[in-house]
């Protein structure tokens, strides 16, 4: 296999730089709905620092300004739907890239599919009816892009259901395509990362015609899901290697209670499936560098944290009292985040927590309308509970930096980022024992003082109430333990460097597979 101009060599043994194409539906700072958008660019930059040549392919949504991008010459044809869709291709360099090995991002500009508000849906249509065609187009376009720029990856790395067709296309067509002078996909292998198994891309199977693949592929790759088409399921059976975003979540998804009906599929691929913990961007989430805090602080000099707490109390209109613990929460208001057990009218524990305990509680987030209404109702009734509906990057950072505790009562959590942000900022997490929360937070032992956070097993209002009560009790009666836990959390390393090395090993295992 030859190499293209300026590209890194594709052949060789373990540990050499590789060509990696990230296929994604979102990536910050261009388009974001959740953690996927943070993970893809952060991982790409970390891999580039290790010497890999990484490119990202994604749609150009309505909100991405073409004027800030460079346009590639000529339109690109994408064979789907029994014919061809045509798209322009734009590109730019991912912010944060090193000059000697930049990560380049490519955007597919197709007005009919992406010239609208929203990524997966809009307020009046939460899930666009043409999503299976929109993201099938993106998956096929990833291969056409490689031909257009004359660059052939060792690894195509697909993320979640929107690009789960990428490993299917590779397995059932692209791998056996005609080679060009500079290369082909004959030696390319695929990796599929499951960021959240709860979202699978299940649609009417009549949409399968748009893939241009035969019905034999539909059944061989097990797309069939109760007479529907499950895009993630097809990707799971087609990818060379699979992973999810924490070791514990990988184990959980092999069991029925967390498998969302795909646990059997994942057990059948268990030899090719592993968990790799996400990292956090320590250039953004770092109290020593954080521009949103009133003063920097670190494990060596923690004075700035007290100023952050004071600023947080002031922002939310609470008494500026260093001697009372502040519980912070930043979340999407969805069932996955345990909001029913915390805020459910008449049974959620938030009211009792604030009524019975000497603490302050600050909330930032949005989502389910009933939850937004109930939270605002609580804020009007409780003097020590304050909330802001919506999202603010500045307020989010101030909560992480200024709170004493951070609450995450998740029903399930594939990885979770906020608990790692909290640890980095010396804010002690209160979390449920699930998914990545269990991988990153060590449960407090009140006898020894060891641990980095407070943890509970069952997701019930009483479990949340009792665990928050435990944390507040320790604040007032074991303050030295709380200080030690806070410091211990700040000394941990949750950067993407370790994760990138684990992904490199996953790529090498994929390339070694038959």
Helices (H), 128-252: 131-149, 165-171, 215-220, 231-238, 247-252
Mean pLDDT to the nearest integer, 165-191? 89
Q: How confident is the model at residue 126 (pLDDT cuts 50, 70, 90)?
A: confident
> Is the pTM higher than 0.95?
no
Asked whether residue 385 carries a pLDDT value surpassing 70, the answer given is yes
Q: How confident is the model at residue 12 (pLDDT cuts 50, 70, 90)?
A: very low
Q: How confident is the model at residue 478 (pLDDT cuts 50, 70, 90)?
A: very high
Question: 76-112 as b/e, with b when 16 or more CB fall inside 10 Å?
Answer: bebebbeeebebbbbbbebebbeeebbbbbbbbbbee
Torsion sign, CA atoms 445, 446, 448, 453:
positive
Share of the chain above pLDDT 90, in %: 92
Closest alpha carbon to 269 in 247, 250, 256: 250
Closest alpha carbon to 411 in 244, 250, 249: 249
> What pLDDT shows up at residue 34?
84
**Average per-residue pLDDT for the chain:** 95
Q: How far apart are CA 399 and CA 178, in angstroms?
A: 55
Structure tokens at 47: 């891999």
Q: Is 32 exposed, middle or buried, given 0-12, 13-18 or 19+ CB atoms closer than 10 A?
A: middle
Structure tokens at 32: 């974001």
Are the beta carbons of 485 and 441 closer than 8 angstroms? no
Are the beta carbons of 500 and 43 closer than 8 angstroms? yes
Q: How confident is the model at residue 197 (pLDDT cuts 50, 70, 90)?
A: very high
Mean pLDDT to the nearest integer, 398-411? 98
Q: Which domains does the chain have, with CATH numbers?
A: 19-279+496-512 (3.40.50.2000), 303-490 (3.40.50.2000)
Q: Is the peptide bond prior to 29 cis by the omega test (within 30 degrees of 0)?
A: yes
CA distances to 240, 331, 410, 412, 432 from 457, rounded to whole Å, are 34, 20, 10, 11, 6
Q: How confident is the model at residue 283 (pLDDT cuts 50, 70, 90)?
A: confident
Asked whether residue 270 carries a pLDDT value surpassing 50, the answer given is yes
Asked whether residue 6 carries a pLDDT value surpassing 50, the answer given is no
> What pLDDT shows up at residue 312?
98
Phi/psi class of residue 137: alpha, beta or left (left: φ > 0; alpha: ψ in -120 to 50)?
alpha
**Residues 428-446: pLDDT tens digits?**
999 999 999 999 999 999 9
Are the beta carbons of 260 and 236 closer than 8 angstroms? no
**Residues 447-473: pLDDT tens digits?**
999 999 999 999 999 999 999 999 999
Asked whether residue 11 carries a pLDDT value surpassing 60, the answer given is no
Structure tokens at 178: 């005609």
> What pLDDT shows up at residue 179?
64
Share of the chain above pLDDT 70, in %: 96
CA distances to 293, 305, 313, 325, 385 from 320, rounded to whole Å, are 16, 14, 6, 11, 14
Closest alpha carbon to 164 in 248, 260, 233: 233
> What pLDDT shows up at residue 13?
53
**Residues 346-376: pLDDT tens digits?**
999 999 999 999 999 999 999 999 999 999 9
Asked whether residue 8 carries a pLDDT value surpassing 80, the answer given is no
* Region of poorest pLDDT, from 13-22, 225-234, 275-284, 457-466: 13-22
**Residues 293-316: pLDDT tens digits?**
999 999 999 999 999 999 999 999
SS3 of residue 190 by DSSP: strand
Closest alpha carbon to 443 in 403, 470, 465: 470
**Residues 215-241: pLDDT tens digits?**
999 999 999 999 999 999 999 999 999
Are the beta carbons of 19 and 10 closer than 8 angstroms? yes
Task: Please report, in angstroms and rounded to a whole number, the separation of the first and last CA atoms in the chain.
Answer: 18
């Amino acid at each position: 296999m030859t190499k293209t101009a300026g590209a890194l060599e594709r052949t060789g043994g373990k540990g050499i730089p590789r060509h990696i194409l990230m296929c994604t539906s979102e990536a910050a700072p261009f388009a974001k709905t959740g953690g996927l958008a943070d993970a893809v660019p952060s991982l790409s930059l970390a891999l580039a620092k290790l010497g890999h040549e990484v490119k990202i392919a994604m749609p150009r949504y309505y909100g991405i300004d073409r004027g800030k991008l460079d346009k590639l010459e000529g339109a690109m044809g994408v064979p789907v739907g029994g014919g061809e869709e045509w798209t322009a291709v734009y590109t730019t360099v991912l912010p944060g890239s090193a000059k000697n090995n930049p990560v380049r991002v490519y955007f597919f500009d197709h007005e009919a599919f992406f010239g609208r508000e929203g990524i997966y849906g809009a307020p009046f249509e939460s899930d666009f009816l043409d999503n299976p065609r929109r993201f099938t187009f993106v998956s096929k376009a990833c291969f056409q892009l490689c031909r257009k720029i004359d660059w052939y990856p060792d690894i195509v790395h697909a993320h979640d259901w929107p690009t789960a067709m990428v490993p299917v296309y590779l397995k059932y067509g692209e791998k056996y395509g005609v080679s060009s002078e500079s290369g082909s996909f004959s030696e390319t292998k695929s990796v599929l990362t499951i960021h959240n198994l709860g979202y699978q891309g299940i649609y009417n199977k009549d949409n399968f015609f748009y893939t241009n693949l035969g019905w034999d592929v539909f059944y061989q790759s097990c797309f069939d899901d109760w007479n529907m088409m499950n895009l993630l399921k097809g990707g799971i059976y087609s990818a060379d290697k699979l992973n999810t975003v924490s070791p514990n979540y990988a184990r959980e998804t092999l069991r029925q209670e967390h498998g969302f009906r795909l646990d059997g599929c994942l057990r059948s691929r268990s030899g090719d499936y592993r968990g790799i913990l996400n990292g956090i961007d320590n250039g953004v989430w770092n109290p020593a560098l954080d521009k949103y805090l009133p003063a920097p602080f670190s494990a060596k000099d923690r004075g700035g944290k007290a100023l952050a707490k004071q600023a947080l109390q002031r922002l939310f209109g609470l008494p500026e009292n260093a001697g009372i613990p502040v519980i912070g929460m930043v979340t999407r208001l969805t069932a996955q985040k345990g909001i029913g057990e915390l805020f459910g009218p008449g049974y959620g524990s938030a009211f009792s927590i604030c009524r019975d305990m000497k603490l302050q509680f600050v909330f930032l987030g949005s989502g389910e309308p009933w939850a937004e209404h109930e939270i605002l109702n609580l804020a009007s009734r409780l003097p020590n509970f304050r909330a802001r509906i919506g999202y603010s990057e500045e307020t989010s950072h101030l909560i992480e930096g200024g709170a004493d505790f951070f609450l995450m009562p998740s029903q399930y959590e594939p990885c979770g980022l906020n608990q790692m942000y909290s640890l980095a900022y010396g804010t002690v997490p209160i979390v449920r024992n699930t998914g990545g929360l269990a991988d990153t937070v060590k449960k407090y032992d009140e006898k020894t003082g060891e641990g980095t956070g407070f943890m509970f097993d069952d997701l019930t209002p009483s479990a949340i109430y009792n665990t928050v009560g435990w944390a507040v009790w320790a604040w007032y009666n074991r303050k030295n333990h709380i200080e030690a836990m806070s410091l211990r959390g700040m000394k941990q390393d949750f950067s993407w460097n370790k994760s990138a090395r684990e992904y490199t090993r996953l790529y090498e295992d994929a390339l070694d597979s038959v």
